[in-house]
Structures are given as structure tokens and as C-alpha cells.
Amino acid sequence: MIELFHLSKNFGNFPAVKDVTLQIPRGEIFGFLGPNGAGKTTTIRMMAGLMKPTSGRVFLDGKDVLRQPEEAKSILGFIPDRPYLYEKLTGQEFLEFIADLRGLEAGNSQQKKIGELLNFFDLQGWSQELVESYSHGMRQRLVIAAALLPRPKVLIIDEPMVGLDPKGTRLVKGLFRDLAHKGVAIFMSTHTLELAEEVCQRIGIINEGKVIALGNMQELREKAKTTDARLESLFLKLTGEEEAEELLG
């Protein structure tokens, strides 16, 4: 369960996120959409404990990220938008490091789990290479593997498909559905509207720091006062970018 209560963040005088309140229950895949600079990444960074909110609170499975950071983060899997990793570790060593950092029991079971994840993400052949030699897509797959290693109850993802090839994209879609089926709450920010439409049960649209629409596809259609079935049209209408599109002809 993910809960955001009146979450706000100001950078100096600029309000990047304004009073965001959301609840994502167990087993739900929630899509968080918005134009560039709308406040998606800032919201996600506050949820993952990388940024301190100006006001408001974030709870992951009932644990306050700001006041009980270690407890909250122990059930969290986080996938950032840019997969910066330790360049001088091999893929295998990176996963071992994450396992130890998250307090997973060392030994055969840890090695088995790491092996399974490397296999699943097609990284077995690269596991002994330094991360500095990985492509963007391989880094992204390694980060997803690392996020799944401690069997998280909450998964927060910023742009999951960047750099992934069609096979990787399909793999990840299936994985998210499977995780949600097992009760994991997934919060996902993305610009890939087809992905959001395909896998998310509910969608929130943020614009200029405020959540302007929230609900399933039908509820969004009602909010946008349109019968158009496509999320793309709804998104453009709700974020006021339809006019810009018309200008482009």
C-alpha cells in the first residue's frame, strides 16, 4: 500500500509539486502521467526518500518514509529514470552488494536468487563484465533485477521502458502484471501511454505540480468530457496540449 498525503515540494519560490494526495492499494499498478516538468520525478524522488518534501507525508505499507526511513525502504524496490550504477563492479557483484545492503541472508539462496534474476533478464553472459561496459538497456535490466532482489511489497518506477528493446519491454510488462497479482503495489511514471493504458488499473495525471485527473480509463473519459477511447487523446485534452497539437496541424 502506498499513501501520499498533501505532498508538496518547493524549489525556492517555485512549487514543483502541489498538495498531492494518492492511495495505491496492494496489487494495483498505478500509472503516473504528465508532461515534461510536471512534477512526476520530484514526486517519485520524495516517495523513494531521495528528497525531503516541503510538506506532506509518504507512507509505504504504513511506514513513514521521512520518520521511519529504514523500515519504509526495506519493503521498497526503486527504479530511477537514469540507471546510474557503480561502474567498477560487475553485474553479479552489483547484485550481491544490493543483497547485502538490504540485509538478505548470504549464501546459496542469495546466489540462487541472483542467478535466477540474471537469467530472467538475459544478463547471465554479462554477469562477470564491469557495469561500465553495459549498454543503457542492460543497465536498466540490471536495475530492475536489483529492485526485485529483496522481494519488495512496493515498487516505484520512473520511466521503466527507457532503453529496453521490444523483448525487454514485453518481459517487463508481464513481470509487472505478475508482481501485482502477487500483491505488490506498483507506482509507475511513464511517457509511454500505450504501456499505461495496457497495464495500469488506475491512472493519475499531473500537470504543473497538481494532480488534475485520477481514475480508471472510464473515469478519465468522463473527466475529459470525451468519448475518445485512446489515452493519448485524453492526456492531451486534460493537460491542455491539444491546442498545441492543433497548431502543429
Query: At closest approach, how far in Å is the CB of 197 from other proteins?
Result: 28
Q: How far is CA 235 from CA 17, 91, 192, 194, in A?
A: 19, 38, 11, 12
Query: At closest approach, how far in Å is the CB of 131 from other proteins?
Result: 10
Query: At closest approach, how far in Å is the CB of 219 from other proteins?
Result: 31
Nearer to other proteins, 135 or 216 (CB): 135
The residues binding other proteins (CB under 8 A) are: 45, 48-52, 69-74, 76, 78, 80, 82, 84-90, 93, 96-103, 106, 128-130, 132-133, 146
- Order of strands across the sheet with 2-11? 14-24, 2-11, 55-60, 63-64
- The number of beta carbons lying within 10 Å of the beta carbon of residue 128 is 10
**What do you get for the CA distance between the two ends of the chain, in Å?**
43
Question: Cell digits for 46?
Answer: 520524495
Query: At closest approach, how far in Å is the CB of 217 from other proteins?
Result: 31
Query: At closest approach, how far in Å is the CB of 7 from other proteins?
Result: 14
Burial class (CB in 10 A: 0-12, 13-18, 19+), 53: buried
Nearer to other proteins, 85 or 175 (CB): 85
Nearer to other proteins, 121 or 235 (CB): 121
Q: Which residues of 189-218 are buried (b: 16+ CB within 10 A; e: fewer)?
A: bbebbebbbebbebbbbbbbbebebbeebe
- Residue the block writes with cell 468530457: 225
What is the phi/psi pair of residue 65, to 5°? -65, -35
Nearer to other proteins, 74 or 226 (CB): 74
Query: At closest approach, how far in Å is the CB of 242 from other proteins?
Result: 33
Nearer to other proteins, 101 or 244 (CB): 101
37: left (phi over 0), alpha (psi -120 to 50) or beta: left
Question: Cell digits for 28?
Answer: 494495483
- The number of beta carbons lying within 10 Å of the beta carbon of residue 137 is 18
Query: At closest approach, how far in Å is the CB of 172 from other proteins?
Result: 19
Question: Cell digits for 121?
Answer: 533478464
